[in-house]
Amino acid sequence: MKRISLTQYLVEEQRSHNTIPAELRLLIEVVARACKTISHAVGKGALGDVLGTANIENVQGEVQKKLDIISNEILLEANEWGGHLAAMASEEMETIHLIPNRYPMGEYMLLFDPLDGSSNIDVNVSIGTIFSVLKAPEGMGQPTEQDFLQPGSKQVAAGYAVYGPQTVLVLTTGNGVNCFTLDREMGSWVLTQSNMQIPVETREYAINASNARHWFPPVTRYVNELQAGKAGPRETDFNMRWIASMVADVHRILNRGGIFMYPGDAREPDKPGKLRLMYEANPMAFIVEQAGGAATDGANRIMDIQPQKLHQRVPVFLGSKSEVERVTAYHQQ
Ligand SMILES: O=P(O)(O)OC[C@H]1O[C@](O)(COP(=O)(O)O)[C@@H](O)[C@@H]1O
Ligand SMILES: [Mg+2]
Ligand SMILES: [Mg+2]
């Protein structure tokens, strides 16, 4: 098999297909390098003193794990020096991080969930990193938080890494979805899946069923129908998986189909769902749509939502198109 590295793939996209500018290529390479560093830290586990909690709360009121902080630092440091960036925003930071002393100013803004699936860190279950790239506003002034509030349809690139049995990087620049596997001996990302497509036929769904008593009626109806199996209206038995790492659940869906749901529920009306629009929902929606799937908040296409604030939460339904359309239609009835 001819090995194509991430660098070769990106150079090809830039030069032969003209789908990405050189600055975006370099930025993606820096993010990929940071993910490699995070992967090494994750792999050390107890030996690297990276497990456990840091006993600090982030802006979301969640207790940070040591690896949340380490991964955030790795991404900040790599991109401060390496990427063509004007500013960054992270799930773990209250406000945006400007790139100091850069002239001319970088053209892009990077957003990330440095460590996704935090509850799985200490039990050695797959975790990951999610990122999204937006264009910085043109002109000389440094970006403000307001400049980040662009709908997902404006993303120029998005990706995620999964630190699991293998470390993989899944990437889109708006021209399909490709998967690269980290060759740990060589230290390089190798293209292992081109033009990933979410299988249309699916018999698998993912939802945290312990919240069932709080769900709104459309979600209850949809899940009840799946659980009724062959005897129910769907006339098919469905299987359920819930890893509690969005990266790993989405990676499974990209490979073998299915639907992922983290709905809003009746508990906290002003907290619509758990997942974050800018760091989780938008980048995953971009990837899923590029792989032939769909992503909604139950009413609207995720990527059409006009963000109101940086750390905004949103209900998420994504994966195989027909299933996402069905549960979305139940919300409209
Ligand atoms: O523990 P729950 O409620 O099942 O939530 C799991 C969800 O929370 C998340 O871990 C949230 O992400 P973080 O770990 O980055 O906060 C998702 O990856 C996952 O899908
Ligand atoms: Mg997350
Ligand atoms: Mg996180």
Q: For ligand 1, atom 2, which residue shows the shortest CA distance?
A: 244
Buried b (16+ CB within 10 A) or exposed e, 7-18: eebbeebbeeee
Confidence at residue 142, expressed as pLDDT on a 0 to 100 scale: 86
Q: For ligand 1, atom 7, which residue shows the shortest CA distance?
A: 244
Q: Architecture of domain 204-332 in CATH?
A: 3-Layer(aba) Sandwich (3.40)
Contact residues for 49 (Cβ-Cβ < 8 A; gap 6+): 66
Confidence at residue 16, expressed as pLDDT on a 0 to 100 scale: 81
Ligand 1 pocket test: which of 130, 162, 245 has the largest number of ligand atoms within 8 Å of its C-beta?
245
Q: Look up the ipTM and state it.
A: 0.98
Is the model's pLDDT at 96 over the cut of 90?
Answer: yes
pTM exceeds 0.90, yes or no: yes
Confidence at residue 238, expressed as pLDDT on a 0 to 100 scale: 98
68 lines ligand 1 (CB under 6 A): no
pLDDT category at 106 given cuts 50, 70, 90 is confident
> Under a CB-based contact definition with an 8 Å cutoff, are residues 181 and 290 in contact?
no
Confidence at residue 161, expressed as pLDDT on a 0 to 100 scale: 98
| Tens-place pLDDT, residues 302-314 | 999 999 999 999 9
Among the atoms of ligand 1, which is closest to the Cα of residue 245?
Answer: 18
More confidently predicted of 267 and 270:
267
Separation of CA 64 and ligand 2 centre (Å): 12
Confidence at residue 39, expressed as pLDDT on a 0 to 100 scale: 97
244 lines ligand 1 (CB under 6 A): yes
Separation of CA 311 and ligand 1 centre (Å): 15
Map out the domains of the chain as residue ranges.
Answer: 6-193, 204-332
What is the sign of the dihedral through the CA atoms of 200, 204, 209 and 212?
positive
Separation of CA 119 and ligand 1 centre (Å): 7
Tell whether residue 126 is among the known ligand binding residues: no
- For the ranges 2-16, 89-103, 202-216, 256-270, which has the lowest average pLDDT? 89-103
245 lines ligand 1 (CB under 6 A): yes
> Under a CB-based contact definition with an 8 Å cutoff, are residues 257 and 201 in contact?
yes
pLDDT category at 296 given cuts 50, 70, 90 is very high
Beta bridge partners of 161: 129, 169
CATH of domain 6-193: 3.30.540.10
Separation of CA 282 and ligand 2 centre (Å): 12
Helix (H, G, I), strand (E, B) or coil at 163: strand
In this prediction, residues 84-110 reach a mean pLDDT of 88
Q: Which helix (H) or strand (E) holds 205?
A: strand 204-206
In this prediction, residues 209-227 reach a mean pLDDT of 97
**Alpha-carbon gap, residue 288 to 159, rounded angstroms:** 10
Ligand 1 pocket test: which of 53, 63, 115, 116 has the largest number of ligand atoms within 8 Å of its C-beta?
116
Confidence at residue 62, expressed as pLDDT on a 0 to 100 scale: 79
| Tens-place pLDDT, residues 171-204 | 999 999 999 999 999 999 999 999 999 998 889 9
**Alpha-carbon gap, residue 152 to 132, rounded angstroms:** 9
**Alpha-carbon gap, residue 69 to 115, rounded angstroms:** 9
The answer to whether the 6-193 and 204-332 domains have the same CATH topology is no
Q: How many separate helices (H) and strands (E) can be counted in the chain?
A: 8, 15
**Alpha-carbon gap, residue 253 to 248, rounded angstroms:** 9
Confidence at residue 100, expressed as pLDDT on a 0 to 100 scale: 77
Contact residues for 210 (Cβ-Cβ < 8 A; gap 6+): none
Tell whether residue 113 is among the known ligand binding residues: yes
Beta bridge partners of 65: 53
**Alpha-carbon gap, residue 196 to 217, rounded angstroms:** 33
In this prediction, residues 95-115 reach a mean pLDDT of 88
291 lines ligand 1 (CB under 6 A): no
> Under a CB-based contact definition with an 8 Å cutoff, are residues 158 and 172 in contact?
yes
Contact residues for 274 (Cβ-Cβ < 8 A; gap 6+): 262, 313
116 lines ligand 1 (CB under 6 A): yes
Confidence at residue 272, expressed as pLDDT on a 0 to 100 scale: 87
Q: Which helix (H) or strand (E) holds 332?
A: helix 321-332
Q: Where are the alpha helices (DSSP H) in 16-153?
A: 22-44, 66-82, 145-148
